[in-house]
Structure formats: C-alpha cells, structure tokens
Amino acid sequence: MAQGSRSAAVPAAASFFALLAVAAPLLLCCAPAAAELARLEHPPKDGGSLSLLVVGDWGRKGTFNQSRVAHQMGRVGEQLSIDFVISTGDNFYENGLTGTDDEAFEQSFTDIYTAKSLQKPWYLVLGNHDYRGDALAQLSPVLRKIDSRFICIKSFVVNAEIVEFFFVDTTPFQLKYWTHPKDDHYDWRGVAPRENYINNLLKTSTAAWKVAVGHHTMRSVSDHGDTKELLQLLLPVLQANGVDFYINGHDHCLEHISSRDSPIQYFTSGGGSKAWRGVQNPTEDDLKFFYDGQGFMSLQLDRSQAKFTFYDVDGKALYSYTRSSLMETGHHLQASGYVNEE
Ligand SMILES: *[C@@H]1O[C@H](CO)[C@@H](O)[C@H](O)[C@H]1NC(C)=O
C-alpha cells in the first residue's frame, strides 16, 4: 500500500475526526434531526446474515429502463430474501421533488418498485439533482405516510450489528455547487455553512464490516471522474475508521475500483435508469469491473464474508467480488496458518 503519499493529509484528518467524535451523540431512531447524526437499528437475520440491493440515479417515471431494472430488482430481491434497499441518490430527475405533494414521488418510486421483495425499508441519500428541488421534502415524514419504505435522511448510520452503514450527504462537499451553480438552484437549508456540516458526519464503529454510502464518486473511470473534495476530506476519515467499502452512484454505470492509495474498495451502482454514457477514462487505479449500461448491485454479508454482485437490465449477474474478513486479518502477518488454526 502506498500510504506514504497520503501523509500530508493525515494531520487534517486527525483533527477532522476528533471533531466528528465529539459531535456524534447517538440518536436512537427516526426523527430526521437537522444537525445530529441519526442512528437506525436494523438487525440482521437470525443466522447473522444480511442481504440488500443497491440502486442509484433512478427516478424517471419508469423511462430509460427504470421499470426493467425495478422488475429485476424484485426478482433478485426475492431470491436473496433481501432485508432492505439502499439508494445512492438522484432519486428524482431532473430537479428532485417540488414538494411533498409532487406526484413524481409515486410515479417514480411507489408505482415502480412494486415487487413484493422490495416492500422493505429503503435507505436513501440525496444526490445533486435532489438538491435542485425541495431537498427537505424528501426527508419529510409526510412522504412516509404515502409510502412507509422511504427513509431518506441527509447523513445517518444504519447499524446492522455485523455491519455499519454510514450514509454521507456528499453533495455539500463538492465546491462547484456552491461557487458555480450556473442556472441551478441548490436548496442548502439545514446545510450551510458547509464546513460545520461536513465536520459532523462520521463516528467510530466496532462492527465487523464498515460501509460508507454517498452519492458522488470517490474513484471513477466514467463521466464524473474522481471527486477531489471527497478524496481530500472524506477519504482520510474513512481510512482512520477502517471503512472497508465505499458505495456511490452519480456515474450512470456499474463500476468496481480498487484504488492505488487505500484498501477501500469502491463500488458504483448508478444504473437505475438513464445510462450508456459512453465514457470510460483509464486512471491509475485498478479497474476491476465496468459496465456502461443499466443495472443494480446486491450485497450479501455475514461476519466473515462480504459478497458484491452486479446485475444488468435482464437480471443477469455480470460480476461478483467476495472479500473475507479472515483474510483481512491474516493480511498483515501469518496469513493462511492463522486462518487454518482457527
Ligand atoms: C434498455 O436496455 C437495453 C438492454 O441493455 C438497451 O439495449 C437499451 O438501449 C436500453 N434503453 C435505454 C433507453 O437506455
């Protein structure tokens, strides 16, 4: 691992994290509090396993293959007997919701993800397109009265015992939305000032697996490329906390990247509707998998293993990646001997 190149970032990360640790009184459950990090409990199945689907960049009233992806999510969700669904944001195109009475909520969500297996909690972050509308509407309990699955909070933790998910609201990280909004209006209520907001996001965790979820790419070979603010501000925090995986949308494709500077594995699941952008730029990172079309991802976890699978619009499994936590432990020293003796 090329850790040396990161040393310049470490002091900043340390103080950033100290702030986070102080600023994270745990809230039990559901009120979408403005500043504190909400914490939801979602226990795993009885045997200690968990499975879920991840979809991003989807809300287009069924068009651009959104309905086909939804249908296949239903099938795969049934097979894997999923516990919940994660959305990596850009939930409603082009400009989020106009308010809690916007019919796009039903047209792009309730009426689309109708399969029985998808009638589970959906944990959602906001994407940049969501910020262009009434961002607070998506957090409102009014929506949950219409469809109780929709659990969208700006930044929050879902604790599933074997794994903790850190949902990070990444839009405010990206400076250009603040400094160069062009003709778009961003709804920063509850967010500004940006620095305070970012400083409030993470906390320590002792779960076997740690997964961070955000809308924007950290590492990407596609349309948006790497997001430098996330690499500067968020990556050091993820590293300091031993986060294993970062899952995002934003790029309308499916990607797995193993980066040059961190053991963190990066997964893009942004193929929920419009895709086929036709952009693939090689980077110095190790690109494990790239698919430019529509699709989604599953994640199956137990204490010792995490398995990611990407599916296309026909529900065909395209690629799988498995990481064992024992190998992680053995990685530093007596690799296989240690595992065998256990
Ligand atoms: C829908 O998916 C099929 C199969 O991948 C693809 O050929 C077609 O172009 C897609 N439609 C759109 C609008 O992206």
In the chain the first and final C-alpha atoms are separated, in Å, by 27
Q: How confident is the model at residue 337 (pLDDT cuts 50, 70, 90)?
A: very low
Quote the ligand 1 centre to 75 CA distance (angstroms).
19
Looking at the chain, the whole-number percentage of residues with pLDDT higher than 70 is 81
Given 42, 71, 224, 256, the catalytic residue:
224
Ligand 1 pocket, CB under 6 A: 64-65, 275-276, 293-294, 313
DSSP character string of 273-327? SS---------SSEEEEEE-SSEEEEEEE-SSEEEEEEEETT--EEEEEEEEHHH
pLDDT at residue number 33: 35
The fourth-level CATH superfamily of domain 4-341 is Metallo-dependent phosphatases (3.60.21.10)
Q: What is the pLDDT of residues 208-252, one digit of tens each?
A: 899 999 999 999 999 999 999 999 988 988 888 789 999 999 999
Quote the ligand 1 centre to 65 CA distance (angstroms).
6
Domain range annotation of the chain = 4-341
Q: What is the pLDDT of residues 77-91, one digit of tens each?
A: 999 999 999 999 999
Mutate to test the pocket of ligand 1, among 66, 253, 313 (most ligand atoms within 8 A of CB): 313
Give the residue, 259 or 336, on which the prediction is more confident. 259
Mutate to test the pocket of ligand 1, among 68, 276, 311, 312 (most ligand atoms within 8 A of CB): 276
Quote the ligand 1 centre to 191 CA distance (angstroms).
37
Q: Which atom of ligand 1 lies closest to the CA of 65?
A: 1
The winner for highest mean pLDDT among 13-27, 81-95, 189-203 is 81-95
Minimal-distance CA residue to ligand 1 atom 10: 65
131 annotated among ligand-binding-site residues: no
pLDDT at residue number 180: 86
pLDDT for residue 2 is more than 70: no
Which residues make beta-bridge pairs with 312?
295
Q: What is the mean pLDDT of residues 80-106?
A: 98
Q: What is the mean pLDDT of residues 112-121?
A: 98
Minimal-distance CA residue to ligand 1 atom 13: 64
pLDDT for residue 200 is more than 80: no
Minimal-distance CA residue to ligand 1 atom 14: 64
pLDDT at residue number 260: 86
Q: Is the peptide bond before 94 cis (omega within 30 degrees of 0)?
A: yes
Q: Are 52 and 84 in contact (CB under 8 A)?
A: yes
Q: Are 143 and 92 in contact (CB under 8 A)?
A: no
Pairing of strands 305-312, 317-324: antiparallel
Q: What is the pLDDT of residues 292-325, one digit of tens each?
A: 999 999 999 999 999 999 999 999 999 999 999 8
224 catalytic per annotation: yes
Quote the ligand 1 centre to 64 CA distance (angstroms).
7
pLDDT at residue number 137: 97
pLDDT for residue 15 is more than 80: no
Quote the ligand 1 centre to 327 CA distance (angstroms).
39
Q: What is the mean pLDDT of residues 320-334?
A: 63
314 annotated among ligand-binding-site residues: no
pLDDT at residue number 49: 97
Q: Is-above-0.85 flag for pTM?
A: no
Q: Which atom of ligand 1 lies closest to the CA of 312?
A: 5
Looking at the chain, the whole-number percentage of residues with pLDDT higher than 90 is 67
pLDDT for residue 11 is more than 50: no
> Tokens standing for 132?
């262009």
42 annotated among ligand-binding-site residues: no
d(CA 272, CA 297): 10
Q: Which atom of ligand 1 lies closest to the CA of 293?
A: 5
Among 31-35, 140-144, 156-160, 189-193, the minimum mean pLDDT is found in 31-35
Exposure of 332 by Cβ count < 10 A (0-12 exposed, 13-18 middle, 19+ buried)?
Answer: exposed
215 annotated among ligand-binding-site residues: yes
252 annotated among ligand-binding-site residues: yes
Mutate to test the pocket of ligand 1, among 65, 66, 318 (most ligand atoms within 8 A of CB): 65
